Amino acid sequence: MKENVEQQRLDAVMAFLQHGTYKQAARAVSRSEKFVFGAVQKAKNGETLRDRPRSGRPPKMTPHGKRRAMTLLKRRKTGSLRKTASRLRTEGVDVHFTTVGRHVRSSLVFRVPRRVPIISKKNQGRRMAFAKSHSRNKWRTTLFTDEKLFGDHLDGKKRPRGRWVPKGSTPCVHTRQKAFKLMVWGGISWKGKTKLHFVEGKLNQWSYSDLCRTVYVPEGRKLFGRNGWTFMQDNATPHVALHTRRSLSKMVSVLPNWPAQSPDLNPIENVWCWMESELQLLPPATSATMLRKHLQAVWDRLDLDRIRNLIKSVPTRLKQVIRLQGGHTNY
């Protein structure tokens, strides 16, 4: 940067000697007249065109102090700027917490951890095998399905988010002793979505098999016809029970070898996440009936473009699984 400024000043002096006026010289080098005037004065006085050395205040944080601050920030108990600055003061380094933040931000950044499921070594191998064996699948004929339990987002167990309010006032969040929850089932495919089915009662292999026979498989046939499509389900206990597998084998082709601990491979999980964020924009549900209406309204707003973008991402998810040796993807 210093060499560039020196060259620019030299160009300004040469332009002044060529044109004879500060205005024309400034126009020639695309700089201000003040810059050209300063460069010319330096040349007239016999000064160097480089910047003068500036001493400045010596930094309070030594390289050792910076390494120590980074070590303290990575610890769970002292992982804040204020706690780190306080700990450094006890060790003889008197710095403000903003100074600590300014020095460590060149190497560290503050991020909220993303929650991902634990994947065992055994399931990492299964994810790798699944990704390799299905890397050339035609996912446009697959119906991705799953159940989701939606609850009242005003549940008192969840920590309220902070908000800006006038001075002297205290914000309140209304909670209730018992929160209501609804379980839904849905499916998405390249050709569209199924209806949103509300699951009543306990879900086991017998009730799930009945739902597949009366609701789930008929919904898939409405999209694809009787044959030529694949039914995808995860490894929940009612899904992989012996009675369920025997029943489904007589009705539809099921996607085989779906690995456990793999919600990131199922695109409908992104739909559930989108629905949860959309629910936050609606008025709080005061009853299970109102929550049911909200869920149905959000599901109806799910458009085909969003669904197809998620279906298109399945090959990329499988490539990430192979690249990460069965680890969790960015989805």
pLDDT digits (tens, 9 = 90+) for 269-278: 999 999 988 9
pLDDT digits (tens, 9 = 90+) for 45-58: 888 888 777 777 77
> At residue 80, what is the residue type?
S
DSSP string, 196-218: -EEEPS---HHHHHHHIIIIIHH
In this model, does residue 179 exceed pLDDT 80? no
Element (H, E) at 142: strand 142-151
pLDDT digits (tens, 9 = 90+) for 284-297: 888 888 889 999 99
Element (H, E) at 6: helix 2-19
Q: Which two tokens stand for residue 259?
A: 């690995």
In this model, does residue 197 exceed pLDDT 70? yes
Helix, strand or coil, per DSSP, at residue 231: strand
Rounded (10°) angle between helices 304-312 and 268-279: 140
